[in-house]
Amino acid sequence: MAIEKMKMLNIISPVENIHPILEDLVIDGSVHIQNYTKSNSTDSLTMHKVSEFLEDSVDLGSMQKIKFEKTDFKDFFEKLDFISDSIDMKLEINADIDTTYDFQKITARLNSMYSVIAPIKLKMDNLKRIIKEKEYFLENISFLDNADIDISEIREMKHINYHIGTLTKENRIKLRDNYENISAIVLHIGSSEDGESYLIFSPSKYEEETNKILRSLNFKEIDIPDDISGNVSQTSNIVGEQIKKLEKEYGEYKEVIKNINQRYQEEIRQIYSEIHLEEKIEYMKENIAVTNNFFYFTGWIPEGKIDTIISFLESKYKDIILVKENSEDISKEVIPPTKLKNNWVISPFELLVNMYGVPNYNEVDPTFFLGVTYLILFGAMFGDVGQGLVLVVAGFLMQRKSKKGTDSKDYGEILFRIGLSSTLFGFMYGSVFGDEEIIPALVVRPLENINFVLYSAIGFGVILLLISFGISIYNLKRDQNIEECLFGRNGLAGLIFYVALLSFGLQMLLKATLIPNLVLGIIMVASLAALLFKTPLYALIFRQEAHYEEGKGTYYIEGGFDLVETILSLLSNSISFIRIGAFALNHVGLFLAFSTMAKIANSPFIGMAILVLGNIIIIGLEGLIVLIQGLRLEYYELFSKYFKGDGKSYIPVKFIEEAEEV
């Protein structure tokens, strides 16, 4: 339940080891190479480290970023996709790859396969198109079977032009409405799946006008092949024979493709795997610095894996230097990537955290706090045994049908967990599908104890806000932002003001005095003063010169507005949690509305239908609203206090991505 520690691995070795070493790192899949700094530098992490060495006057010879001719992997993958589609196979990475491959040979083999398969696929596509056109022609010409028409005579007409084709149902109506504007004879000869079929005769001198009208109606014309003659019946027989010959030829090519699939399927997968690996190696290669004889490479590796990787590389390569560094010993400008490490119960909630932002490497991972509190928030607002179990089943089915590592699986697991929370609170409220007469309430029935529910919601919110202050202070201290830690609105001064304000409000509500109001007033004023004068106070305590970025006047004007905003936000943050109780009451009230309608119906069948429909609406609509409201409380009331979310995810360069792993 934390952010996994990262260590930086520095590798120095002869340039001839570049490919094999990078190959080993890609296959291991633990190295993160992107350079995430507070600046907008586009240099690689390796070059950033090299510049540090150079600044320290360390002689690294003529070390510079590696330059090489980049490979057009897009072309290779397009050819592989074409081949896999052509022979009906699925491209999958072979984990047991032979790393002794010759890249030039496998690309040559790929091009050779492509040159064989592409013409066959082109011929098959062409045959398929011709067959479809002839079948379409045959379907529409069949409507003229009963007419004694000679195709060659129609084609040889000199003063009359003809058109055979189809219109959609909608355009047929347009044609009918414009009969008087068409200088042609329009004969409806039949209907097909594509629309209505027509035979149209028009004088040659009106051909241009007729064509314009037909184009405006998207008339799909059927061309009569030049080699066709005789009456319609004879034409149909000729075209039918042609289709059989074409289908036979298509089947022969299909058999060839089938044989290719059986013979070369594994080889194609192997080529795909090797090219995929080479692409990853080249990507890592872009982050290397070289001299004439040596190369230098730097990457982030999780603390738990770095010793294993070092041992493996040292045993395999004699001429290699490996140096690991702790993140604390590296320049603050270089920020390690964030890899969250949570148990199986809480880990699905990482998705909700990442929707807001990735935790910074130096701040507390909020996943555990969000996971626990979100379960409580949702259950409290949507407490029902029956409806909760429906969510449990829905979440279980969703995660079962989703692939590992996908968002949909995480959503399913979250739904499963909040369903369990809803069920638990349902027992506390004594509610089963909205009915509060089936089981007794273990704690409270919301509608019978409205004040208790609302006050409890606010009290729970106050506890969460106090915890948020604590996390914020801890994060600010870890980030060494002492000024904000002591005097910031989410620091110690803000916490003291909030506690004093709560104490004052509680004493007014209970009409009791534990701490004199004057003392609480002095504490609140002192806290607000600390917030306003935080910069000069910090400078005075640590004997530094106060630094005002935009001048003193602007600083104090903005500080005054910030005080007002702080007071209002603390009050609104606290009151905002009343929605927990409000939704708990609303949940019961909504069911009562459906229950009342069911009773008014005076029919057991209709009444049951209303109750079932009501539960569906409550689960679907209110459940969604409660999901959103719970996230709103987490994001705006709590995360805004302590969570920056300006980190970058740990994305190692891997041969087999997680989504592909089974």
Percent share of the chain, pLDDT over 90: 42
- pLDDT class for 660, splitting at 50, 70, 90? very low
pLDDT surpasses 90 at 594: no
pLDDT, average across residues 470-483: 90
Is the Cβ–Cβ distance between 286 and 299 less than 8 Å?
no
pLDDT surpasses 60 at 148: no
Q: Which of 78-82, 395-399, 583-587, 656-660 has the lowest mean pLDDT?
A: 656-660
Is the Cβ–Cβ distance between 561 and 433 less than 8 Å?
no
* pLDDT of res. 96: 82
> Which residue reads 């520690």 in tokens?
5
* pLDDT of res. 541: 84
pLDDT, average across residues 81-85: 92
What would the pLDDT profile of 532-580 be if each residue is shown by its tens digit? 888 888 888 888 877 777 778 888 888 888 888 888 888 888 999 999 9
* pLDDT of res. 153: 62
Rounded mean pLDDT of the chain? 85
What would the pLDDT profile of 286-314 be if each residue is shown by its tens digit? 889 888 888 999 999 999 999 999 999 99
Instruction: Domains for the chain: give ranges and CATH numbers.
Output: 2-66+286-329 (3.30.70.120), 150-230 (3.30.70.100), 340-480+577-642 (no CATH), 489-565 (no CATH)
Is the Cβ–Cβ distance between 630 and 377 less than 8 Å?
yes
Q: Of 56-70, 129-143, 631-645, which one has max mean pLDDT?
A: 631-645
pLDDT surpasses 60 at 42: no
Sign for the pseudo-dihedral over CA of 261, 267, 270, 275 = negative
How many other C-beta atoms lie within 10 A of the C-beta of residue 542? 9
pLDDT surpasses 80 at 209: no
Is the Cβ–Cβ distance between 13 and 320 less than 8 Å?
yes
Is the Cβ–Cβ distance between 353 and 328 less than 8 Å?
no
Helices (H), 9-55: 18-28, 45-55
pLDDT, average across residues 74-86: 93
* pLDDT of res. 659: 40
- pLDDT class for 43, splitting at 50, 70, 90? low
Q: Calculate the CA 57 to chain-centre distance.
A: 45
Cross-strand partners of 198: 165, 188
How far CA 583 is from CA of 421, 466, 590, 618, in Å, comes to 15, 23, 10, 12
Between residues 478 and 148, the one the model is more confident about: 478
pLDDT, average across residues 592-602: 84
* pLDDT of res. 56: 45
- Residue 265 has φ and ψ, to the nearest 5°, of -60, -50
SS3 322: strand
Q: Which of 120-134, 191-205, 333-347, 593-607 has the lowest mean pLDDT?
A: 191-205
- pLDDT class for 144, splitting at 50, 70, 90? low
* pLDDT of res. 549: 73
Q: Which of 76-90, 192-206, 409-423, 586-600 has the lowest mean pLDDT?
A: 192-206
pLDDT, average across residues 315-332: 87
DSSP string of 616-632, one letter each residue: HHIIIIIHHHHHHHHHH
* pLDDT of res. 599: 83
Q: Calculate the CA 55 to chain-centre distance.
A: 41
Distance from C-alpha of 412 to C-alpha of 392, rounded to nearest angstrom: 9
* pLDDT of res. 36: 54
Residue type, 590: L
* pLDDT of res. 390: 94
pLDDT, average across residues 87-102: 85
How far CA 612 is from CA of 23, 35, 219, 243, 268, in Å, comes to 59, 55, 51, 57, 54
* pLDDT of res. 178: 66
Cross-strand partners of 649: 338
* pLDDT of res. 149: 60
* pLDDT of res. 475: 92
What would the pLDDT profile of 386-438 be if each residue is shown by its tens digit? 999 999 999 999 988 887 767 888 999 999 999 999 999 999 999 999 888 88
* pLDDT of res. 662: 35
- Residue 206 has φ and ψ, to the nearest 5°, of -105, 15
